[in-house]
Chain A
Amino acid sequence: MNPAIVALTIVGVLIVGTIGLALFGVRRIKMDPQQYIVGGRSFGTLFLWVLLAGEIYTSFTFLGMAGWAYGMGAPAYYILAYGTCAYVIGYFLLPAIWRVGKERSLLTGPDFLADRYSSRALGVMAALVQFVIVVPYVTLQLSGLQLLLRLAGYGTFDATIAVCIAFVLVAFFVFSAGLRGTAWASIVKDTLVLGAVIFAGVAIPRQFFGSPARLIDQVLRVHPHMLTLLPGTATHGTVWYVSTVLLTAIGFYMGPHSMSAIYSARSENTLRRNAMLLPLYQLVILLVFFAGLSALLIVPGLRGPAVDQSFLLVVQRYYPPWVMGFVAGAGSLAALIPASALLLGAASIFSKNVLGTFGIATSDAGRIAATRILVVIVALLALWFWLEEQRTIVELLLIYYNGITQFMPAVVAAFLWPRANAWGVVAGILAGLALVIVFAITNLSLWGVNSGFVALLANALVLVTVSASTPRRVRVV
């Protein structure tokens, strides 16, 4: 039988089956905005763990990490480190965010800022900015999906239309199931991804090299400097490593989808237990790293965006089509399920913080209807961006992180510095974003430091200066 048909059939069955199972899981749930957007604030430790893992471990983890291992080697270590650092920060930050959300019935990140700084304008501004920033993150998932479908199709067809179909399917899935549906789908997705990653990171190195240790021997023989970072200020050197780990660890929870996940927790301790358990999931990333290195030795010569294919190419060339189908199916879910959470997050902030503030769709039924329509609109917007502007997976992730991290000083100041006010926060965010854009356009390098990190420092500085020189905020408690 044609290998493309075998592989693509398996991919299709996995995607449709997962969505079907998730819809089955939520069939008796009555939808109100609390339920739709934050799952009724009722998720226990395990369910939340699965949801968070489902949102965090995306096609970036799956393809981007392997691609970086393949293309660069040691700089990819940052991916292991930043999530772990973020969880430690999250132990302190998340329960505090959750408590405010529960007391004040907040649903979104911009809600939080608007409430803490008593400024609805700040809420609107934050919602609009985050809405725009999320688009490249969704686009990243689409790039990953296209890659997977093209490889599973063994080059026999152009995957663009398949990507559009899969994506519209997911948009309608979120449309009907809300956050709880995403959590259900994450259970299946995580199981499949785990299986695929263990295969790629354990079975491939064993079969071709004998063991991961032998694999590393071989890599060191061919590329002796690849598994350590370049010193100091070199591109992707140690300075870059430190600043990138800190930047992305700080920005980790600022996305609209993460804020909904935080609010979906049943209690503060649910979040603390998750902060403790999530680092264990990082080990999956180590296996992906091995898979990427194996690919470097087995199928050398990929350049530029093609590195994202790395170990998938090995699977495609050396394993039967059904294996390709399972790996590509798991990978596709790793793109689609986080995309569903992102769509829901972006749609929620727009309906609640932009439309809601201007008095549109304020009833419960109206808000759900508006959020649902917006889910579809964001999906179409991301599709359009993707068709217009095709970039590599890592570039897209860095655009997202540089932007979204600029909200962190405002959130932290809300807890630690009573003097911070809406003026300072808005000025800080705008200054940070302006710098991010300037750095992106001019491609300026500052002694190897990640440019988003520089923007973050400027943001904090502006926040403090402007807050200190304008009237105190009036606190509503």
Chain B
Amino acid sequence: MVSLRILLAAIPITALSLAVPLVNRVEPRILGLPFVLAWIVAWVLLTPAFVWSIGRVERRW
């Protein structure tokens, strides 16, 4: 299960760092936010779900 944990950790980190240059634009605006900012905020909100999933995979909770 090592690979699944690492994958679950790598997804949000990549989305917030390496992927940002690919979504670096204003349109389409989401809830009024420029797309790149909406992308970052969405991933900040999703990250707890990913961390929770890692904990489930490791049977920590």
Interface of A with B (CB < 8 Å)? 74, 77, 80-81, 84-85, 87-89, 91-92, 211-214, 216-217, 220, 227-229, 231, 238-239, 241-242, 245-246, 249, 269, 272-273, 275-277, 279-280, 282-283, 286
Contacts and interface: CB of A to CB of B under 8 A. Distances in A.
Contacts of B43: 81, 84
Interface string B24-61: 11100101111011001101110110111011000011
B36 A84 contact: no
B33 A229 contact: no
Given A81-B20, A216-B33, A92 B9 contact: yes
A80 B40 contact: yes
Nearest to A85: B13
A229 B34 CA distance: 11
Nearest to B36: A228
Contact of B51 (A212, A275, A282): A275
19 contacts: A77-B37, A81-B40, A81-B43, A84-B47, A87-B51, A88-B13, A89-B13, A91-B51, A212-B32, A213-B31, A216-B29, A227-B26, A228-B34, A241-B17, A249-B17, A276-B48, A279-B45, A279-B51, A283-B41
A228 to B, nearest CB: 5
B17 A85 contact: yes
5 pairs of A and B residues whose beta carbons are closest in the complex = A213-B32, A238-B21, A81-B16, A276-B51, A227-B34
B18 interface: yes
Q: Is the interface of A mostly helix, strand, loop or mixed?
A: helix
Contacts of A85: 12-13, 16-17
B36 A286 contact: no
Contacts of B32: 211-214, 216-217
B47 A216 contact: no
Nearest to A90: B51
Given A229-B20, A238-B20, A269-B61, A77 B9 contact: no
B8 to A, nearest CB: 9
A242 B21 contact: yes
A80 to B, nearest CB: 5
Interface of B: 9, 12-13, 16-18, 20-21, 24-26, 29, 31-34, 36-37, 40-41, 43-45, 47-48, 50-52, 54-55, 60-61
Contacts of A217: 32
B32 to A, nearest CB: 2
B34 A84 contact: no
A249 B47 CA distance: 14
A242 B55 contact: no
A279 B52 CA distance: 12
Contacts of B44: 80-81, 84, 279, 282-283
B3 to A, nearest CB: 14
A236 to B, nearest CB: 12
* Residue of A74, A272, A279 contacting most chain B CB atoms (<10 Å): A279
Given A213-B32, A276-B52, A280-B48, A84 B25 contact: no
Given A87-B47, A91-B51, A228-B36, A81 B21 contact: no
A279 B13 contact: no
A206 B40 CA distance: 23
B21 A88 contact: no
Contacts of B34: 216, 220, 227-228
Nearest to A239: B21
Contact of B48 (A216, A238, A277): A277
A77 B17 CA distance: 11
Contacts of A276: 48, 51-52, 55
Given A80-B44, A213-B31, A238-B20, 18 more contacts: A77-B37, A81-B40, A81-B44, A84-B16, A88-B51, A89-B9, A91-B51, A92-B9, A212-B32, A213-B32, A214-B32, A217-B32, A239-B21, A241-B17, A272-B55, A276-B48, A276-B51, A286-B41
A401 to B, nearest CB: 15
Query: A81, A89, A272 — which one has the most chain B CB atoms within 10 A of its CB?
Result: A81
Nearest to A219: B34
B22 to A, nearest CB: 9
A463 B9 CA distance: 26
Give the residue among B20, B31, B33 with the most A Cβ atoms within 10 A. Answer: B20
Nearest to A279: B47
Residue from the set A84, A212, A239 with the largest chain B CB neighbour count within 10 Å? A84
A245 B19 CA distance: 12
Contacts of B21: 229, 231, 238-239, 241-242
A213 B29 CA distance: 9
A284 to B, nearest CB: 11
B29 to A, nearest CB: 8
A238 B20 CA distance: 8
B18 A242 contact: yes
A80 B25 CA distance: 17
Contacts of B16: 81, 84-85, 245
